[in-house]
Structure 1
Amino acid sequence: MMEPLFLKSYFQAKIWGGRKLETEFGYELPAGKIGECWAISAHPHGPSTVLNGPLAGLNLAEAYTQHPEYFGNPKSKVFPLLTKILDAEASLSVQVHPDNDYAEAHEHELGKTECWYIIKADPDSYLIYGHHAKSRAELADWINQGQWEKLLRKVPVKTGDFIYVPSGTIHALNKGILALETQQSSDTTYRLYDYDRVDQATGQKRALHLQQSIDVTTVPFKQPRLNIQKKQLGASEITSYVQPPLSPFFSVWQWDIHGEVIGQHEQGAYTLASVISGNGSIKVDQQVFPLQKGQHFILPAQISQWILDGNMQIIASESTEN
């Protein structure tokens, strides 16, 4: 009998992190400033672990390589996506990520296109998103001179917003934001600016990557044009945030569940899901599994249909690279 793969998260300490992952989601955190919950991850820097069923005890990378049938027998050698929850108690570094070609050549891993669903944002929160340079020479000049006020775009953000961040986009979450991130499975980040912070663990400033940042930044900045679509299913609502061709690596939805909703994916697809508020259940093949805020799971390719019930909000994604 096929069932969802429920996952145990991996937590990352960060200089900018806090404790909201504990207070908001009830996670048992290690001591210190915890910035990231790697919720659905097969990346070697923090793999999540399967909690139930025949694959229990395997980390997601092992499950993906040893049991490809759960994932539609994919072509990709590595699990392509990574779902995180980020707690920006302080501002993250101003950064940019490479595309697949640059990352493969220089870092031997995937590039990093990502997106954020803003779970919670303090009043007057903002992002760094894009830049004002008109040419690569101007970009390099402003970066090397530290002309951050001239270079960086600041964008207000509030609870419930969705932001798509293609590779090559200068960006940063700023303090007071809790976000769910869907991204390619990559841990490559090039920092332009880190507020001259000193890492207390090392006594040193964190490394910057100015030349790499200049190399990979898209110039001039181009604002992605999202085509967000909403569909009513009784009292429930499904919001489609990104799909191909805009997003070549993943599709992302928000499921606002109020009562029963039948869900399905295309043959050979598998779905990643994170419950970000409320509670309810999912029914698969006459089995009912309770769901609550903070749970993360994968619906394997063999599950063609399921029934969600309750009052909850779920962010779901699928790889579009199979």
Structure 2
Amino acid sequence: MSGADPLTARPEVRVRAPAATVRRLLTDVTAWPRIFPAVVHAERLDDGSGGPARVWVLREEHDEVSVVTVRQVVDHDGRSVRFRPDAHADALLPLGEDWSVESPAEGESLVRLDSGVADLAALRAAAEEESAESPVYLEFADSVTVAGAARDVYDFLYRLEDWPEVVPHVATASVREIGPHVRFVEIDNAGPNGPVHTTEAVRIGFPHRTIVEKHRLLPPLASLHLGRWTVEESPGGATVTATHVVVIKEAGVASVLGEGTTLAEARTWIRGALGGNSVVVAEQAREYAERRAR
């Protein structure tokens, strides 16, 4: 009998992207929310590239978010990447544990998960989107200058449950606290002439500088939506920036925007809709902070 023994076979996937791209995604903590579905946010605990990382993991089965410290070990030849959670981790880490990345042909990779649990398909999709400079990947940011305190801007952005009173496109908003500065949020967004769209997200606040969110309930137009609010002190006040990362689901473009809509047109529409709504929220945060500064 030929073929791999099913008891010892390791999950693997062939990727139409260079091995260097795959390895970079595996070792870049800022990419983990994009390539690992259960990772909401990740950040280094130091300024170096090889230190431990703190990872916020969504446990769907328990409806909670847990925080795990992970150490990363990369072999000198770059072919293997290992993740080691701290001793207090209470569940399997959805980043996998031992990865090997080989280059069977130019522009291609063979990725094996030697141990642990992870979504290889999500890693493959992200690597191929990046390698091909795919038009389905969209990242953009908008900033507003505020003549007020950064703390007040952050407070407005964090208290999302108050938005229906002042933000025109937010019809309803509800939150559920699941940990210190960690919330499940649900918002009904109402367009001026369109139907109400409900969004659900996991939101993590880092007072008084950053709020990150990963959307759990996605529209037919997207397979991924990450958001980030950044508040920075600046001369005379603060600057608030809204950043979005979206992966467009090509199969959903026609159902949302109509038959014949191109990816380029979908990108423009998403940029305008999400960016426009974020600017409206940022302007309300500006007004709130500036009133408090008077």
How high is the TM-score relative to the length of structure 1? 0.28
* Rg larger in structure: 2
How high is the TM-score relative to the length of structure 2? 0.30
Pick 1 or 2: higher relative contact order, CA cutoff 8 A, min separation 6.
1
Structure with the larger helix share? 2
